[in-house]
Amino acid sequence: MSRSLRHGALAATAIAFSIASLAACGAGNDAATLQIKPDNAATTIGDISVQNASVVTQPELTAEGPAVVTATVFNNGTKPQTLETITLPGSSTPVKLTPAEGTGPIVIQAGDKVVLGGTGNASAVIENGLEAAKAGDVQRVVFKFSSTGEVPLGAFVVPAKSFFEGYGPSALPTPPADTAGPSGKPTGTPAGSEAENGEDGKGGETTPTDASSASAEGH
């Protein structure tokens, strides 16, 4: 192949590649290369970055019990910030925040992070998970910090199975206890029979028989 033909082939290849790239860009967010979506929600506002946010419910879809909000919160600022509240817009169910130490507020130190969910970490427990969120949905969650303020995002709602099993609610539902029978059921000997026996036996007194008396005298 002559030098001019070789240069022409290279130019045609470059043009074809450019057209393909432009076509992919023109497809916008629906382009094949952009259809891979993250499994967890993430957002950054000011110095606060919330990553891997999810709402983890009970393993079974219809099971009653608490749910939890899981996330990793980064403080990229130079001052500590306190996670004051987590709310679920559209639901009145409260979210109880507990630090890893067990008491006090959840504080994210400057340049540090706090993990919500999982053994030994801080927790954000939704008291009534079945009412607040449904597995498969996207739940709007609002984190409120002392300095940054509100940080909203949409978190996927997933059951506590597979990867999320270790991050799910610690208080899983338990079968209801057996109910006791009516307290009015008679037990032992009916009281009425004792009264009847008392009347027939003259107040419960017993008279030894002749045979027993003779036996006693023989001894």
Q: pLDDT tens-digit profile of 45-93?
A: 999 999 999 999 888 877 888 999 999 999 999 999 999 999 999 888 8
What pTM does this model have? Answer: 0.60
Cα–Cα distance measured from residue 38 to residue 163, given in angstroms and rounded to the nearest whole number: 15
Least confident of 20-24, 37-41, 77-81, 207-211: 20-24
Quick one: CA dihedral 97, 102, 107, 108, positive or negative?
negative
List the one residue out of 49, 58, 85 whose CA is nearest residue 168: 58
> What is 41-167's CATH superfamily?
PCu(A)C copper chaperone (2.60.40.1890)
Boundaries of every domain in the chain: 8-34, 41-167
Average pLDDT over residues 190-215: 45
CB contact at 8 A, 56 and 159: yes
Q: Quick count: other Cβ atoms within 10 Å of Cβ 65? A: 20
pLDDT tens readout for residues 90-148:
888 899 999 999 999 999 999 999 999 999 999 999 988 777 777 678 999 999 999 99
Above 60 in pLDDT, residue 185? no
Q: Quick count: other Cβ atoms within 10 Å of Cβ 101? A: 8
The pLDDT value recorded for residue 160 is 83
* Run of H or E including 192: helix 191-200
Residues found in the chain: 219
